[in-house]
Amino acid sequence: MKTLLFTKELEDLKTEALVVGFYESFGNSDIDKYDVISDGLVNEVIKSKEFTGKFGKVLMLRLKGKLKRLVLVGLGKREEFGLDKAREISGKAAVYVRDQGIGEFSIVLFEDINPYDAAYCVVEGVKLSLYQFNDFKTQGLDDIKKVDQFTLVANGNNFVEIDNAIRKALVITDAVYYVRDLQNKPSNVVTPSYLAEEAKRIAARFKFKCTVLETKDMKKLGMGGMLAVSRGSDHLPKFIIFEYNGGKETFCFVGKGITFDSGGISLKPSQDMDDMKFDMSGGAVIFGLMIAVSQLKLPYRVVGLVPATENLPGGNAYKPGDIIKFHNGKTAEIINTDAEGRLVLGDALAYSKRFNPNAVIDFATLTGACVVSLGNLYAGLFSNSDEFSSKLVKAGENSGELIWRMPLHDKYKEHVKSNVADIKNSGSRDAGAITAAVFLKEFVECKKWAHIDIAGTAYTKNNKDVLSPYGGTGFGVRLIMKLLEDWKTK
C-alpha cells in the first residue's frame, strides 16, 4: 500500500473517499467547510441524528462533485480522545472503506493531538488494521478487497514533523507485517532451518550481523536445554544470533522460537493444537525488531537471540524424569516436556551474558497460565528491576501494546525446587506464569531484565481488536520501539 501526504487545499485533493472525524459535541471548526463540500448533507445527517459523532460510528455520504465520498467517523467525547482512540478509529475507517470495495482513500489529520503523534497513530491504525495473510490461497483471490493507496491530509506548518512521523510509522508497521507473516506461515514451512535462512537473508538485506549456531556448536557450548528439546524432531535446531552495532549501550532481545510445540512426550490435547505454529512468535518479534532498529539507525548496539527448534515426541525425544545441564552449568529435572520454552530460553539467556548487555528482554508464548490471568489484552511482565519495569509499562501504554507487571518474589522458587537437580522445569498448576519466570531468572545475570509472556497477545482468532486481524499480531515490536525511542528521556 502506497502512503502519501497531502498538504494543499482540499479542493485540489483527488480521492475516492475522504475520511473526516467529528466529536460528539460537533465543535470542529471545519464543520461548515465540509457542509459546503457536501452540499448541505453534513448538517442534514447531524440534524436528523443519522450521524451522532459517537465513538466508532461511521457514515458514508455519496457526493456529486470531484470528491466522490465523504466518510464521517465519530471520535466520541473530545476530552476522551487520545492516541489509542486515534489509532482505533483510523483502523475502523480503513476497514470500512476497504469493505466497500474502495481501493484508495484519504484521512484528514485529527485535531487536538500534536501533529506528530496524530500522524503516527493514523498511519499505524490504517496499516495494522488492513493487514491480510493470503499467501496460501489459490481460489477467490479476485474477491479479496484491498486498499492500494492511502493519503494523510494535513494543514498547518508541521509538514516535516508529520512526514517524519509517517516514515517512522511505516518502518515499524512494515516490521510488524513481517513478524505477522512469519507467525502466520505454517510449521511445515517455517522450520528452524527456514528461520535460520530467513535470518541470514534479512541480515544481508538490512545490513546487520547474523550467526547461526548448529548442533555441534551447541554441544560445545553445553546448551543442554536446546539439545534436549530438539531431540524428538527430525529438524535440526538452530540458534540464531543477530547483532546490530549502532552504539555502545547494549540491548539484548531474546525470543522463543519453537516452530511447532506438540508438547513432546507430555503430548498436548488435539483441541487447538494447530495454534502451536505460533509458538515461535517471540522469535519472530526479534526478527522484526532487528529490521526496525537497523532501518531507523538507532544509536544502540542491539543483539537478538532466537533459539529455534521443534518440540516433537520422536523416538529420541527427551522424557519426563530426564536431567539436563544448561550453558551456565545449572541442572534441571524435566517434569513436563511441554514446559520446553523455558529450557531453550535458559540457554539463550545464559548465552546473552557474553554480550555484556545493559538490558535483556525476552519474549515468549510461555504459559497458558498467563492467558488465564490476563486474557488477550495485556501481556505479562516479570522483571528484576522496578525502574526498568515502569519504563516498559509506560512504553506499553504509549504504544498500545499493554503489559502488566506480575510478582517475582524469591519465595516462588519453592515451586521449582527439585530433589535430584538444581531446579525442575514445572511445578504445580498454581502460579504457573510466575514459576516459569522464576525458572528463567536462574539464567539471568543482567540487572535490567524483563520477561514478557505473550501467550495471550501473540495471536488472535477473533476480530475483537480492529488493529489485529486474524492470526499473528506481531505484539512486542511497537512496545520495544517505543521503549527505545523514549529510552534517554526521563
Strands (E) across 312-398 are located at: 323-325, 331-333, 359-364, 379-383
Which CB atom, from 76 or from 456, has the smaller least distance to Zn ion?
456
Residue 277 among the catalytic residues: no
CA distance 246 to 243: 10
- Which one, 365 or 383, has the nearer CB to Zn ion? 365
Provide the mask over 329-348, with x wherever binding to Zn ion is found by CB under 5 A and - wherever it is not: ---------x-x--------
**Least CB distance to Zn ion at residue 253 (A):** 21
The C-alpha cell at 439 is 525458572
Cα 292 to Cα 190, 257, 296, 317, distances in angstroms: 21, 19, 6, 37
The question of whether 342 is a catalytic residue gets the answer yes
How far apart are CB 197 and Zn ion at their closest, in Å?
24
Nearer to Zn ion, 88 or 310 (CB): 310
Q: How far is the CB of 191 from Zn ion (least distance, A)?
A: 17
DSSP state letters, 166-235:
HHHHHHHHHHHHHHHHHHHS-TTTS-HHHHHHHHHHHHHHHT-EEEEE-HHHHHHHT-HHHHHHHTTSSS
> Which residue, 215 or 336, has its beta carbon nearer to Zn ion?
336
Binder among 261, 322, 362, 453 for Zn ion (CB under 5 A): 261
Q: Say how far apart CA 254 and CA 188 lie, in whole Å.
A: 23
Q: How far is the CB of 311 from Zn ion (least distance, A)?
A: 6
Residue with cell 520422536: 314
Query: Which H/E stretch holds residue 215?
Result: helix 215-221
Q: Which of residues 422-461 bind Zn ion (CB under 5 A)?
A: none
Look at residue 351 and give its three-state secondary structure. Answer: helix
The active-site residue, picked from 68, 78, 167, 268, is 268
HSE value, Cβ hemisphere, 13 Å, CA-based, for 142? 0
Position with the least CB separation from Zn ion: 338
| Binding-residue pattern over the window 295 to 334 for Zn ion, x denoting contact by CB under 5 A | ----------------------------------------
- For Zn ion, how many residues bind (rule: CB under 5 A)? 3
Catalytic residue among 231, 342, 448, 482: 342
Q: Are 437 and 355 in contact (CB under 8 A)?
A: no
From the CB of 147, what's the least distance to Zn ion, in Å? 38
Grid cell 526496525 in the structure block, residue: 292
Catalytic residue ranges: 268, 342
Site for Zn ion, rule CB under 5 A: 261, 338, 340
